[in-house]
Amino acid sequence: MSQRTPDPSPPARSTTDRFGLGPIDQVGYVVADLDSSLPRYEALFGPFQVGEVAIDGARFRGCEIDCRLKIATHDEGPVEIELIQVLAGETPHTEHLRRHGEGPQHVRFRITDIEAKMAELEAAGYEDIFFKRFGPDVAFTYMESPPEMGSALIELLEMP
């Protein structure tokens, strides 16, 4: 019996995905306490860079909000790993903690023309729940999938 050698090349990417989002470039996890969670995630992924960010004037479920997040990122591979702790404000992350506890919360796609992509996804049943535009070329949104897909979150990031 001959042994088959595993193919080291990555699997071919589909070119028929309906929305043309491209590859996932980030997986985001929500944590209650970043400092206590970080050693567990570093054991799995390696070192993270930690910082804080204030997001003022974002739209969350139709209301303008301000929030402050503590974020850690690991970006040594093709997919960035992000850990998010909410320090202040009501966000999709606090909602996730209440509903599901800590763990994976979203996947992110880098795109161009965020408004057009949001309209396309909304027409397919996705809901824009968290949005912020920082300038003419930089914006993000969290889109919630239809309930029949588990109301999962995807993040779209427009950034040169």
Query: Is the model's pTM score more than 0.75?
Result: yes
Q: Classify residue 112: in a domain, yes or no.
A: yes
Say how far apart CA 16 and CA 133 lie, in whole Å.
Answer: 29
Tens-binned pLDDT, residue by residue, of the chain (160 aa)? 444 444 444 445 445 578 999 999 999 999 999 999 999 999 999 999 999 999 999 999 999 999 999 999 999 889 999 999 999 999 999 999 999 999 999 999 999 999 999 999 999 999 999 999 999 999 999 999 999 999 999 999 999 9
**Residue 3 within a domain:** no
Flag whether 77 is in a domain.
yes
CATH number at residue 70: 3.10.180.10
63: in domain: yes
What range defines the domain where residue 134 resides?
26-158
Residue 20, in any domain of the structure? no
Asked, for residue 12, whether it belongs to a domain, the answer is: no
Q: Is residue 7 part of a domain?
A: no
21 in a structural domain? no
When divided into structural domains, the chain yields a total of 1
